[in-house]
Structure 1
Amino acid sequence: MNQGFPRLLGDIGGTNARWAWQASPGAELEDISIQPCGASASLEVSAKAYLNSHGRPQPLWAGIGVATAVTGDEVRMTNSDWRFSISAFQQSLGLERCLVVNDFTSLALSLPALKATDLRAIGGGVGVSDRSIALLGPGTGLGVSGLIADGKGRFTALSGEGGHVTLSASDDGEASLLGALRSTFDHVSAERVLSGQGLVNLYHAVCTVQGVAPQALGPADVTDAAIAKTDAQCVAAVEYFTRFLGNVAGNLTLTLGALGGLYIGGGIVPRLGPAFDETLFRQYFEAKGRYQGLLQSVPVWVITASTPALVGASRALDVLP
């Protein structure tokens, strides 16, 4: 029976394209490679460069997660200039099958395969094994997904764009920041704050509210200054990032009934290191009034594995049409 191997697997974000090769069912991923999206003119060029650099033959199937909504054959990336036709990509690489899904759908499908060493726990109790699981991850953008339980031991990966929901404030301080952000953005989505650029946006908002002239800082600069505690506005920006993340994560958990737990993916939270206040995150994650007790029992994990979405891309080929 044709099982679609060998496979080309991709995880395409707004900044980097990650590729891997899987030779056979259950085989470990090989030749994992990370390429800046800006180094290639298109997805096709990036994929072919990867295959050529590793001397790989033509793959039979390809499974690719992309950091944007996939609603048809034409795909346009949200946080990069790449756009492509799935059918044209499939034809160009001579693939028998090409499946393109949202990158956080891929990541959600990888969650059951993660090991304890791939995770860092942030409080809560023990997840309920037959209940839904929530997933979000600040990176170049804000990815949101989950595994929805059917009550019979099976799960469906959620495909959506929850990172673009409207951000809300839980107190006057947060409301002041949102007011400052609205002077720049017509719509202040969760992604405008909970992402790499979101850290910079928060830093500028803090400076505006405090009447301080902002410096020309990038996401890494804000992070480094917050870790070193050398800039009060950077420290405040990361604190508000943590608060907003807890709030949004709690909302998602309640919306999905995710008593199986919440997973945090993306590169931002691991990069924040000691500047990410886990106690503060739990405080805002659980601050849901009459449902505080319920959320206190929900476990939260930070994903520390480097390329789990590539595993999920292969899983997507197995379970999605």
Structure 2
Amino acid sequence: MKALVKTEPGPGHVELIDVPEPRCGEHDVKIEIRYTGICGTDLHVLHDTFKNYPPVILGHEFSGVIAETGSSVSSVRIGDRVAVNPSTAVTCGHCDDCRQGYYMFCPIRRGMGHGVNGAFTKYAVVRDDQVHKLPDDVTLEEAALAEPLACAVQAVEELTDIHLGDTVLLSGPGPIGTLCLLLLVAKGCNVIVAGTTQDRLRLELAQQLGAALTIDVLQEDLQQVVQRETGGRGVDVAMECAGVEASAAACLQAVKRRGRYVQVGIYGKEIRIAFDTILYKQLIVAGTLAHSMQTWSRTLQLLRQRKLPLAHTITHTIPLSRWQEGFALCEKKQGLKVLLTYDE
């Protein structure tokens, strides 16, 4: 079968090559992959700005259909449609963090798509506890968004109090930022979405999905707009989703005294910011790393309730053989959520 593989360390070295079909163990399930989303992490692996262990198949945001089950598996059956938690591929299961459901902090953890083989291919084998059976009315396209939605759920719902009526600055209208927007709008927040001229299409989509205001920071003065919209007070919450130094600085400047700052984006390098701003404004600061067991339970409930217009965030579905086109769409911000499908 074909797979998109990071073949060796360093920037680049990503190729579509032939790999053996994986085998299903006693406690495993084999999934025929239907849709896999391109994530910012995949781009970081491509550029070697996120830790990876080549040779490794990229891709971790995926859904599919059970094609085979191990002899000890009873939780799912062949033909079941599933979403997958890719982040628990390797964990110890015994450390304090694992026992409390915070698997992201396990000292030996490796996730799919960078630490172990991922989903930009035809079949993936995972443990049966990683899969979640889907309700009939949840599409496989929507299910491929389960993992990034879980990232947004933790950022918006679980790390700091965000209330009905809060004014929130969301800087960075990429896929995770847009999923955060959906949740904030559902909570009844007044959301200002900031991006650059390159984000034009994404800002237009944010407006359609319920943003109160969108700002091109290269065309307007963000701080003047924030002051105008908040009566000079500043925003209640700033969510930095871009992973860009200037965005972090702008968010710290825009948030009110005793406000809240949530770091969602990954920088992949050291940055310089006016860190004393946190002290002088007495800010509550939270960093969010993916999700937890609790987050996945909440995310699956959201999928079942179907109250979020997730399908509107999917702008492209592209064959795996055209992966470079899909990656370019994401790099150039010409799409939002881009899904790849296996093609022979």
TM score, norm. by length of structure 1: 0.35
Q: Which has the higher helix share?
A: 1
TM score, norm. by length of structure 2: 0.33
